[in-house]
Structure 1
Amino acid sequence: MNANTPTDVMFSFTGLATRAEEHKDGFGIAFFEGCGLRLFVDHHSARVSPVAELVKHYPIKSDNVIAHIRKATQGVVSLENTHPFVRELWGRYWVFAHNGDLKGFAPVLHGAFRPVGRTDSELAFCWLMQELAKAHASVPSVEELTATLSELVPRLAAHGTFNMLLSNGQALWAHGTTRLHYLERKHPFGPAHLQDEDVRVDFAAETTARDRVAVIATEPLTRDEPWIAFAPGELKVFVDGQLLVRSETGRLTHA
């Protein structure tokens, strides 16, 4: 989730946690609070994890959130292999989560970014951080980061399925290889029903006219909102709850 103001994420997290019957090999959620970051992970399913119950009762309000439910393809079911993963670069936290399976990906890591666990996902994250650090001598803009990521991400996707979310607290980048959808909530807000649970929220009663929220998920979390599918190989960036797109001049502007 990416928003223009700290926003409650529990409605979406409830819908995501319901899908942990198949993706039962761990869950995690990371959310930014200013320059700080809170991270909760557990290698147990979100359906039974006491950590998930804690999260459901924690008053999470954030403008950038990444949550993940794991179905292990590489690496055993363990805490160190549980997404999201976190690293520091340029004095900011970076958070990454990945659905997919990368084959034959064995990069040379020669910098400060090394995986703790044994997943292809964390390895890909460390490589991305290494290459971003090499590409920019100082803190880049969101536009510059997006341009660099648009060159790096296809090199990862060439090894298999690479559906990923990445955030540094300023923006949220999302790449889809197979299945990924996004939704922008904005004024006028209305009610929404979860796809997998009998839970309903009237966002009109919870928001102001200036609020904007973008939600990205593998499959739509609600059944009565206009979700849009990513095209295969598409990289999108969201800032302040809005999708940014390249203009005719090549600059990023709000869609």
Structure 2
Amino acid sequence: MCQLLGMNCNTPTDATFSFTGFTQRGGRTADHVDGWGVAFFEGAGLRHFVDHLPAAESPVAELIRKYPIKSCNVIAHIRKATQGAVNLQNCHPFVRELWGRYWVFAHNGNLENYAPRLHANFHPVGTTDSERAFCWLMQELAKSHASVPSVEELTITLRELVPQISRHGTFNFLLSNGEALWAHASTHLFYLERGFPFASAELADEDLTVDFAAQTSPADRVTVVVTAPLTKNETWTAFQPHELIAFVDGRAIRA
């Protein structure tokens, strides 16, 4: 299976620390070697990077580990292929436009016999079950709402749509439109909320420790969502099976 990493904050924050540990799982501490990608929202814009090389060896990933891009919503993915060849068009995260804004999606899992009917506006470029699922979600969101809905309305609609996909197999995913980060767990997904008072964190996959108290203000809030905990000295919360959570401004919004 693949690995997911998401970050949601109340102020633009760089994901260098988390991304550094995460990419080690792309060929060093785990065997997810079939490509990787990351997307950073910046206002109405988006920085989107993908590479078919293993994340631990990719020169593009090395650039991002050294380049502190600041964002309030980040989605990253390292791939272990189940469906689709190892190439750029099958690397997550995938990007589409809806209601005049970017949407970013990454999936961990395998959907068997999944061939949804897709209409004119959303079609996959690659051959993964993941991109087909993303296209169908975008199609159905567009059908359900005439204009940009609120985060609460989108969460309600997603809770109605997601079971129609997850019945085909494992459907752990991250989704963002730059306003919120939605995360769904079929099996394994964890999150961690960092806030005042901040402390030091030690990566599990790399010999690196960061003192967040020295880099943050008391008003900052950051939530990290990941397939498996990234740090050794922090308490991560496991998602319940089939749980969908929206994260806004660094906090989980369940209701």
Which TM-score bucket, shorter chain as reference?
Answer: over 0.9
2:192 alignment partner AA: L
More relative contact order, 1 or 2 (CA 8 Å, 6+ apart): 2
1:10 alignment partner AA: T
1:60 alignment partner AA: I
Work out the CA distance in 2 between the residues paired with 1:84 and 1:245: 24
Work out the CA distance in 2 between the residues paired with 1:221 and 1:56: 15
1:130 paired to 2:139: yes
In the TM superposition, 1:1-255 aligns within 5 A as 1-21=7-27, 22-246=31-255
Which residue of structure 1 lines up, in the alignment, with residue 3 of structure 2?
Answer: none
Work out the CA distance in 1 between the residues paired with 2:201 and 2:137: 36
Deviation at 1:57, TM superposition (A): 2.0
**Secondary structure at 2:25 match in 1:** helix
Work out the CA distance in 1 between the residues paired with 2:231 and 2:62: 21
1:5 alignment partner AA: T
**TM-score after normalising by structure 2:** 0.96
Unaligned runs of 5+ in 2: 1-6
| RMSD across aligned positions (CA) | 0.6
Q: Percent same amino acid among aligned pairs?
A: 68
Work out the CA distance in 2 between the residues paired with 1:5 and 1:80: 31
Unaligned runs of 5+ in 1: 247-255
Which residue of structure 2 lines up, in the alignment, with residue 251 of structure 1?
Answer: none
**TM-score after normalising by structure 1:** 0.96
Deviation at 1:35, TM superposition (A): 0.5
Deviation at 1:233, TM superposition (A): 0.4
Work out the CA distance in 1 between the residues paired with 2:104 and 2:226: 16
Residue deviations 1:137-173 (CA, integer Å, cap 9, x gap):
1110000000000000111110000000000000000
Work out the CA distance in 1 between the residues paired with 2:67 and 2:94: 21
Work out the CA distance in 2 between the residues paired with 1:178 and 1:133: 28
Deviation at 1:106, TM superposition (A): 0.7
Deviation at 1:27, TM superposition (A): 0.5
Q: How many residues align?
A: 246
Deviation at 1:54, TM superposition (A): 1.5
**Secondary structure at 2:138 match in 1:** helix
Deviation at 1:179, TM superposition (A): 0.5
- Asked if the contact 1:30/1:67 (under 8 Å) is kept, the reply is yes
Work out the CA distance in 1 between the residues paired with 2:20 and 2:143: 39
Deviation at 1:23, TM superposition (A): 0.6
- Asked if the contact 1:111/1:130 (under 8 Å) is kept, the reply is no
Work out the CA distance in 1 between the residues paired with 2:68 and 2:8: 17
Residue deviations 1:74-111 (CA, integer Å, cap 9, x gap):
00000000000000000010000000000011111013
**Secondary structure at 1:20 match in 2:** coil
Work out the CA distance in 2 between the residues paired with 1:232 and 1:23: 23
1:104 alignment partner AA: N
Deviation at 1:50, TM superposition (A): 1.0
